[in-house]
Structure 1
Amino acid sequence: MTRVVHPIEQESFRRLRSRLDTSGFQPLTRAVVERVIHSAADLEYATDLVCDEPSLRAAHAALHAGAPVVADVEMVAAGITRRETVCRLRDARSGPGLTRSAHAVRLAHEQVGPGAIWVIGCAPTALEELLVLDAAPALVIGLPVGFVGAAESKAALRASGLPAVSNVSEKGGSAVAAAALNALLYHPHIKENA
């Protein structure tokens, strides 16, 4: 089913591109950068986001082949369109040294196993927990927001060597994390040799 783009969204992207030249980005990186900027109306994401085109290509293929999508919180899950997600926060409990978000990641990992796409936009502790699991993700969209642990957890994600989308600053959040995933969902299939 072809996605119908509303005229307001078309105009928003036209204005974004009139203020920021994104033509130098590779195709999937450009799609992620533009959709994240669109979701936050924040042009600084063009230099704050850290994307790797080969990782995005592999994740795009996995996503379109049916890889499970896991969200850390329901706000992220609600922002992901055209795809069912796994979010185990309602089932999670906190305990000594374990936040509800971290426990939810454990529960989701038990449910989906390797090869999932993880979308973390709220809790740095969810991202930290994912990094200690043997999750073998297709991609981690690690964009938690906040002054405590957010930048550090994203730096740890980048240092882990896992295929990832992250950003350097403390910015992030549910809307931008969902937008990054939606960029991959909306992008047309790519020829292998393109």
Structure 2
Amino acid sequence: MEIKHILPSDIEKTSLGIIKQELTQMGKTLPDDTEATVIRVIHTTADFEYADTMMFSEGAVEKGLEAIKNGAHIVTDTNMALSGISKKTLARFGGEVHCFMADEEVAKEAKERNVTRAYVSMEKAAKLGVPIIYAIGNAPTALIKLKELMDEGYRPELIIGVSVGFVNVVEAKELIINNDKDVPYIVNRGRKGGSGVAAAICNSLLYKLYR
């Protein structure tokens, strides 16, 4: 086994090239509009299964880009995803990144109502009065609450649903995929996902606009 000597500035470029090459060898061709996002997720996870399981509603990437350009904020369900999203790039378009999971009022209300903090966080986010892209990498209850809010007339700009786990994860993602409210989505079917994946998807959109 030979160690490759690659300049630090070339590591990411080389990695993305390897991913594209291996996808070609697997006989997988990704649509032009979603390719950068899927490749960014594979780069984050080293898991090529995402090439088959990531689902995009029609025009989801373009609608997400338009939302960012129009000043949309991003709300996520973990501080890890919050840390990973390029806040500086989003700020260039007037947006901010929020996570309310550690909010004391959210925690108190969730305990009183016997629901998750993620569930209450989505309610709090929906009241911000700004266009929002939701990036959910952990809690399926966040996706369940978003579906309830959509049924009540609320319309997110985009839902990124990549919750990870075993309890209600698959079912919650399907609620978003099968929503009949014309809300754009990027969802990874199945149990896989996570905060890193949610951040990677957000950054794939931001990098399209500014890098």
TM-score calculated relative to the size of structure 1: 0.88
Say whether 1:106 aligns with 2:109.
Answer: no
How far is 1:178 from its partner? 0.8
Report sequence identity in percent. 35
- Contact kept in structure 2, 1:120 and 1:142, CA below 8 Å: yes
* More displaced stretch, 13-22 vs 54-63: 13-22
Aligned equivalent of 2:99: 87
Structure 1's 172 and 112: CA in aligned 2 closer, same or farther, altered over 3 A? farther
Structure number with bigger Rg: 2
- Contact kept in structure 2, 1:118 and 1:139, CA below 8 Å: yes
Count of residues paired in the alignment: 184
Looking at structure 2, the residues matched to 13 and 56 of structure 1 have their Cα atoms a distance apart, in angstroms, of 19
Aligned equivalent of 1:149: 168
Per-residue deviation, residues 157-176 of structure 1 (Å, max 9, x unmatched): 10114210001110000001
> Following superposition of structure 1 onto structure 2, how do residues 39-50 of structure 1 map, counting pairs within 5 Å?
39-50=44-55
Per-residue deviation, residues 105-144 of structure 1 (Å, max 9, x unmatched): 111111145x311100011111111111143111100000
Instruction: Give the 3-state SS of the residue equivalent to 1:106 in structure 2.
Output: helix
Aligned equivalent of 1:130: 146
Ranges of 4+ aligned residues in structure 1 off by more than 6 Å? none
- Contact kept in structure 2, 1:28 and 1:53, CA below 8 Å: no
Structure 1's 6 and 135: CA in aligned 2 closer, same or farther, altered over 3 A? farther
- Contact kept in structure 2, 1:77 and 1:178, CA below 8 Å: yes
Task: Kindly report the root-mean-square deviation, in angstroms, between the aligned alpha carbons of the 2 structures.
Answer: 1.9
> Following superposition of structure 1 onto structure 2, how do residues 2-151 of structure 1 map, counting pairs within 5 Å?
6-21=9-24, 24-81=29-86, 82-83=89-90, 84-91=96-103, 92-93=106-107, 94-95=110-111, 96-113=113-130, 115-133=131-149, 134-151=153-170
How far is 1:53 from its partner? 4.6
Instruction: Give the 3-state SS of the residue equivalent to 1:135 in structure 2.
Output: coil
- Contact kept in structure 1, 2:58 and 2:184, CA below 8 Å: no
Aligned equivalent of 1:169: 190
- Contact kept in structure 2, 1:117 and 1:140, CA below 8 Å: yes
Looking at structure 1, the residues matched to 187 and 209 of structure 2 have their Cα atoms a distance apart, in angstroms, of 22
Looking at structure 1, the residues matched to 146 and 202 of structure 2 have their Cα atoms a distance apart, in angstroms, of 17
Aligned equivalent of 2:177: 158
Instruction: Give the 3-state SS of the residue equivalent to 2:120 in structure 1.
Output: helix
Q: What amino acid maps onto 2:147 in structure 1?
A: L
Aligned equivalent of 1:192: none
Looking at structure 1, the residues matched to 31 and 122 of structure 2 have their Cα atoms a distance apart, in angstroms, of 31
Aligned equivalent of 1:181: 202
- Contact kept in structure 2, 1:29 and 1:52, CA below 8 Å: no
Looking at structure 1, the residues matched to 129 and 204 of structure 2 have their Cα atoms a distance apart, in angstroms, of 22
Instruction: Give the 3-state SS of the residue equivalent to 1:119 in structure 2.
Output: strand
Structure 1's 48 and 29: CA in aligned 2 closer, same or farther, altered over 3 A? same
Instruction: Give the 3-state SS of the residue equivalent to 2:72 in structure 1.
Output: coil
How far is 1:19 from its partner? 0.7
- Contact kept in structure 2, 1:29 and 1:53, CA below 8 Å: no
Point out where structure 1 has 5 or more consecutive residues left out of the alignment: 190-194
